[in-house]
Amino acid sequence: MMGSNLEFLNPEFFWLFLILPIIAAWVYFTRKKDSAYLKISDTKGFAQQNILAKLKPLLNLLRILAISSLIIALARPRTVEVSKKTKTTRGIDIVMAIDVSASMLAKDLKPNRLEALKSVASKFVSQRPNDRIGIVVYAGESFTQTPITSDKRIVLNTIRKIHWGEIEDGTAIGMGLGSAVNRLKASKAKSKVIILLTDGVNNSGFVDPKTATDLAKGLGIKVYTIGLGTNGTALFPVAKDASGKLIFKKAPVEIDEKLLKYIAGETEGKYFRATDNNKLALIYDEINKLEKTKVEEFKYYNYQEKYRPFVFLAGLLILIEMLLRFTVFRSFI
């Protein structure tokens, strides 16, 4: 009954405790008027009565305790148990379109662009427990690595297994965006988002990026575009040696920012430029904040009234006091 979830519905009744000292003082100063006095030569015959006389204040104590119990009962003590239930009211379907061309092995991000992206993308997925996510990869062509799913283990496993060299090299931005749009066209989610990342210029594929942009716009899909790469030059893979190891040489970083800004602007998204690992992480954090799934929390309260024991206790104390007053202590009243 006295747990941490105890509360009082009418705590203003506790002010009544201020009258108890007044009652106690009144009883103390008027106690002599309630007793008769008789002078006698020997009091041995009244030994038992003297003991009872000393216990007489117990009656007043019982009455004060009874009043205290009634005050607590008036304050309406009760315990509260709170249960919570959450409801996702607006789900978001997200497709991450990831460039896996050879240039993604450039070393301006550590250990390279692709591995840096995989680390940040995995964190982003882990922070979206209520959304469905799909993965599209593209280079000279594109394909769906994972359809839209709510199973984050599948998505994270897919990201972990993304490697360069599995599809024809090149940078087909239009095809990557088109494949992502195709994944979302049948989606019934209220909010549909594509995160398109590239580190180059559209130079292959048979789908024009602007055509794919129009398709996304027509379907109400918002596209966030990310240009990945430092300003200036970076170490790019240019060939393989006799043992099959990649050879790196410095070359200028070229990103079609004009196209990426166009795609984002037409679809009411936003363009970002990631020049290092830290900025890439900050970009995904910002997208995570911009696209929030609305979650409603419902609280259910279960109240249990606890005033009845105090009423019972007050009644019991008054009954005991009355019985003692009119039996044991009758001769002293």
SS3 247: strand
- Residue 297 is given by DSSP the state E
Residue 55 has pLDDT above 70, yes or no: no
Please answer whether residues 80 and 302 qualify as being in contact, where contact means their C-beta atoms are separated by less than 8 angstroms: yes
Of 62-71, 108-117, 211-220, the range with the lowest mean pLDDT is 62-71
Fold topology of 92-292: Rossmann fold (3.40.50)
Of 14-18, 220-224, 280-284, the range with the lowest mean pLDDT is 14-18
* Residue 128 to residue 152: CA distance in whole angstroms: 9
Structure tokens at 66: 């009874």
pTM over 0.85, yes/no: no
User: What is the reported pLDDT for 46?
Assistant: 47
- Domain boundaries, given as residue ranges, for the chain: 6-38+45-82+300-332, 92-292
Q: Which residue has the tokens 């104390």?
A: 317
Q: 111 preceded by cis ω (within 30°)?
A: yes
User: What is the reported pLDDT for 244?
Assistant: 84
- Residue 328 is given by DSSP the state T
- Nearest partner of 142 among 181, 109, 116, judged by Cα: 181
Q: What is the mean pLDDT of residues 251-266?
A: 96
Structure tokens at 260: 């990426």
Could you tell me the CA-to-CA distances from 32 to 29, 42, 104, 325 in Å, in that order? 7, 22, 101, 17
For 18-43, write each residue's pLDDT tens digit.
888 887 787 777 765 555 555 555 55
For 181-198, write each residue's pLDDT tens digit.
999 999 988 899 999 999
User: What is the reported pLDDT for 87?
Assistant: 57
For 166-183, write each residue's pLDDT tens digit.
899 999 999 999 999 999
